[in-house]
Structure 1
Amino acid sequence: MEISKPERRFIISIIVVSAIVVILNQTLLLTAIPEIMNDLNIEFAQAQWLNTAFFLVNGIMIPVSAFFINKFTTRSLFLVAMGIFMTGTLIAALSSDYFVLLAGRIIQAISAGIMMPLTQVILLNLFPVSKRGRAMGLFGMVIGVAPAVGPVLGGFVVQSFEWSMLFWIVLPIAAANFIFAAFTMRNVTTQTNPKFDLLSLVLSILGFGSLLYGFSAAGTMGWSDPFVIGSLIFGAILVSVFVRRQLNLEQPILQLRVMKSRAFTLSSVIAIVFFTSIISGNNILPVFMQEMLDYTPLESGLAILPGAFIMGLIMPIAGYIFDRYGIKYLTILGSGMLLITSVMMAFLDENSSFWAITIIYTLRLVSVGFAMMPLTTYAMNSISNRLIPDGTALNNTMRQIGASLFTAIMVTIMTLIPASIDGASPSIESQVLGVNATFLFSGFLALLALIMAFFLKELKDIPEEDIVE
């Protein structure tokens, strides 16, 4: 179906607004947790599940998103996903009970797990290969800025209103976007009508869900915890069975043969390092600033915010550079900057100033801005248009699992080092050493990414027979 320029602008507006709303909800409750705990009379461990469950369900839905994108039209899937999101948001807004609120968050996450891959697939289908970098840069700007704005906006709102206002603010925006989409959204994807395989769906949900939970729990409960070990083993077995089944099915729900593309696989692995640097940094830096340097939650959020905004501004520029000059030098630049800034973060101590932390962390996020979305675009350009839904799902799944694994390792390092020095009552100095060690580990990952960057080939240098059809 031919899409006119005005129609394309309408579609881009719709998916950008939906992406902002959905991604904002991933972090919106982080600073509202204390208020929710007091209002619903629940413990911190329970309250954390409002965020953990969102993350897990979102991650579970991503691998099966390819099936839905291939099965249903763009318009129908988008409207259903937005309808699900609005339903979850309304339930959360009206809730006065913890389990009702948790149900609302889970329903929101089901939508998010479909919406994010769908948004990428729509953008990739709307633009020719030569302009995809700029389009994905626009998407990168959204996913870079929105998560950082969420905690600051959430903290501001709960200071003046009930926490339910967070959902009431989001709901009318989502509803307006839904109505607009109902009249202007067009079908831009091609339906292959894959056969539904219930066993594959169950294996995917349970397998990837167990792995994601195991990695996220390992950082706090420890790798030797029986439940963590059981979750990881159970998840690994089910994912192995899932992979084997997909390779043997005539119509798999996820085409794993996109991994035959060396360009796709290598760029997806490097992208894991950059995604990990965002997730781990956003988890570790607030702990470092609040628990060890006595900064307030607002101050730690403000330290992250400039880097997120600048990273978002750089992503469209990096996309333009990618379209003109290719992937290799952008990735080398990004990896090199990430390596240098990780080492600089490793030398922060209890006397480090707010501005020193903010500037170094901003430069760290700038490195991500240069490389992450170009790597994703490069990966999608290395496979045929028909396989883009599968490539998008697999690329996102690899990032989620990889970031969960490495973040868990870094949190483990952060807690084990002070415990080994001071025992059960670690000093501030030993806790800071633990944080320093985590950023050295991040620097090691950046070094690996830098080495791998030299093996990336520009798409014009890849033989046609190596493009997976």
Structure 2
Amino acid sequence: MTVVLRILVLSTFVVLLNETVMVIAIPRLMREFEVTATAAGWLSTAFMLTMAVVIPVTGWFLQRVSTRTAFGLAMALFLTGTALAAAAPAFPVLLAARVIQASGTAVMMPLLMTTLMTLVPAQERGRVMGNVTLVISVAPALGPAVSGVVLQLGSWRLLFLAVLPIAGAMAVFGFRKMVNIGEPQDSPIDWPSVVLAALGFGALVYGLSELGAGAAAQSPLPPLATTLAGAALVGLFLWRQLSLQRSSAPLLDLRTLTYRHFSVTLGLVCLAFMGLMGAFILLPMYLQDVLGLTSLQTGMLLMPGGLAMGLLGPKVGKLYDRLGAPRLVVPGVVVAAVCLALFALVSSQTSPWLVLVLHLALGVGLAFIFTPVFTSGLAVLPPHLYSHGSALLGSLQQVAAAAGTALVVSVMSGQAAAAATSSATEALATGIRWGFGVCAVLGGLAVLVSLLVRTPPAQELTTPPKADGDDDTTSGEKAGNADAKPVN
């Protein structure tokens, strides 16, 4: 990898590690700030909402500013949020700090993906994307375990104080070594689109999250009405982007969806995230509330699966370069779907070791999904659509994660209430089994979509595209392959 990519990968690792360290600290924060579980849950909800609001704008933003400017802004926001969180005197300040952190994260992820697709030749993208997957997977997996260890040593503020000097060093070193990739394009921003994207994606993710929280949400806004309003505003946003494509530059270019293979991989990623986020919500609940494990034990038990997915990333990337996407994605989706189906059979008597094995197998299956899907999906787009493809992918991931959580938790809560005649633990176990059943159905649908995945044609892209004089007919469109051509 080039110096630029190494800087972005390491910076992304630091940013993503901080995203999950808060999970185990929630009970302590509730006691210290004297807030309810619902209020404390906003530390995660606000982070997800911010990502959903900011990411749609990054498609335009990354084309408008230089690489150094985008990197500097992302790290500055993250450092500001981290410092504010470490010194937060009250819960509202901590909540605001998480929003600022999320803003930096929302810029960093599309920046990494766009730069990777621009710099790396087609024949090496699998290997490099595998290394990126290693970072993206290992950082969140280490977060709960690191949090558990740090909280044993002292205050929750150490979670931010420990990250601050590392992130600061990465920001200073990265900004000094960072070079600009390509030339910024002087494209105007459509402010009505910004407003529609912020309100639409924000309301949709918020409404879905609150629907998933059920009766415990105590939401100030009606979740169902908010979800429907958000969906309507997103529809208006999409309609405006289609209109802008005919006359000027859209905020989020939907011509990415005219590339069949990108649309297929986008659908697969959404289904996978719906099922997996549902499972990731259910697993800690099952391990702690049904099997009686501590927070630290839960974090340590779930860590090997995340590590397996990350450590296999580079190997899977090399296999992708040799074998293509279908031979890796289809088996990976099948393994993940089977694991989710087996999770639907758990009970209060299931051994934690069996859960460990299933979660480890799930991580292996995921390793064979995400690297090939991300690489092949973005590969069919012409260079001037890379940033828009990354933004669309990131936006729909947030929506899919919220929708999966809402669906799974709603089913779990309903079935647990229906089984209330038994003990509370058994009723919860029943609800969790039904929740995993929904995840298994989503996994089955993902298997069907994975059969449509194809290996994109070889593309020769070894130098950054120029801002002026670009030929929109790129190598992917000239390749003569249906997967690389826009759908008429």
TM-score range, shorter chain: over 0.9
In structure 2, which of residues 85, 108, 126 is the aligned counterpart of residue 115 of structure 1? 108
Farther off after superposition, 266-275 or 287-296: 266-275
1:19 and 2:12 aligned = yes
Deviations along 1:261-287, whole A, 9 cap, x unmatched? 110011111122333343222211010
In structure 1, which of residues 367, 377, 380 is the aligned counterpart of residue 378 of structure 2? 380
Partner of residue 484, structure 2 = 467
Q: Match for 1:81: what amino acid? A: A
In structure 1, which of residues 144, 149, 163 is the aligned counterpart of residue 142 of structure 2? 149
Q: Match for 1:199: what amino acid? A: P
Partner of residue 5, structure 1 = none
Deviations along 1:189-243, whole A, 9 cap, x unmatched? 4433321111110110110000011111111126998711121111011111110
| Pairing 1:21-36 to 2, within 5 Å after superposition | 21-36=14-29
Q: Match for 2:8: what amino acid? A: I
Q: Distance in 2 between matches of 1:215 and 1:143?
A: 25
Identity %: 33
Q: Match for 1:459: what amino acid? A: P
Q: Distance in 1 between matches of 2:485 and 2:163?
A: 40
Q: Is the 8 A contact 1:282 1:304 kept in 2?
A: no
Partner of residue 369, structure 2 = 371
Deviations along 1:433-457, whole A, 9 cap, x unmatched? 2212222222222222212222222
In structure 1, which of residues 340, 352, 355 is the aligned counterpart of residue 353 of structure 2? 355
Partner of residue 446, structure 2 = 449
Relative to the length of structure 2, the TM-score reads: 0.90
Partner of residue 191, structure 2 = 198
Q: Which runs of 5+ in 1 are unaligned?
A: 1-7
Deviations along 1:132-190, whole A, 9 cap, x unmatched? 11111111111211112112211211222221111111111111111111211011244
Residue 53 of structure 1: how far off its partner (Å): 0.8
Q: Is the 8 A contact 2:454 2:483 kept in 1?
A: no
Partner of residue 410, structure 1 = 408
1:66 and 2:59 aligned = yes
Q: Which runs of 5+ in 2 are unaligned?
A: 459-478
Deviations along 1:63-110, whole A, 9 cap, x unmatched? 111111010000111011111111111111111111111111111111
Q: Is the 8 A contact 2:275 2:442 kept in 1?
A: no
1:232 and 2:230 aligned = no
Q: Match for 2:301: what amino acid? A: A
Deviations along 1:396-433, whole A, 9 cap, x unmatched? 2122211211221111111111212326x754233222
| Pairing 1:22-101 to 2, within 5 Å after superposition | 22-101=15-94
Q: Is the 8 A contact 2:72 2:175 kept in 1?
A: yes
Distance 1:62 1:303, change over 3 A: same
Deviations along 1:341-375, whole A, 9 cap, x unmatched? 11211112111111111001110121111111210
1:126 and 2:143 aligned = no
Partner of residue 464, structure 2 = none
Q: Match for 2:55: what amino acid? A: I
Partner of residue 3, structure 1 = none
Partner of residue 238, structure 2 = 243
Q: Match for 1:14: what amino acid? A: I
Higher RCO (Cα < 8 Å, 6 or more apart): 2
In structure 1, which of residues 212, 217, 220 is the aligned counterpart of residue 210 of structure 2? 217
Residue 468 of structure 1: how far off its partner (Å): 5.3
Partner of residue 165, structure 1 = 158
1:102 and 2:119 aligned = no
Q: Distance in 2 between matches of 1:455 and 1:410?
A: 26
Partner of residue 268, structure 1 = 266
Q: Is the 8 A contact 1:90 1:171 kept in 2?
A: yes
Q: Is the 8 A contact 1:40 1:96 kept in 2?
A: no
Q: Distance in 2 between matches of 1:295 and 1:361?
A: 16
Residue 334 of structure 1: how far off its partner (Å): 0.8
Q: Match for 1:370: what amino acid? A: F
Residue 466 of structure 1: how far off its partner (Å): 5.6
Q: Distance in 1 between matches of 2:380 and 2:218?
A: 40
Partner of residue 418, structure 2 = 420
Deviations along 1:258-317, whole A, 9 cap, x unmatched? 101110011111122333343222211010111111111111112210111011011121
Q: Match for 1:49: what amino acid? A: W
* Count, aligned residues: 461
Q: Distance in 1 between matches of 2:483 and 2:285?
A: 45
Partner of residue 304, structure 1 = 302
Q: Distance in 2 between matches of 1:125 and 1:393?
A: 15
Q: Distance in 2 between matches of 1:155 and 1:205?
A: 34
Q: Is the 8 A contact 2:275 2:440 kept in 1?
A: no
Q: Is the 8 A contact 2:345 2:433 kept in 1?
A: yes
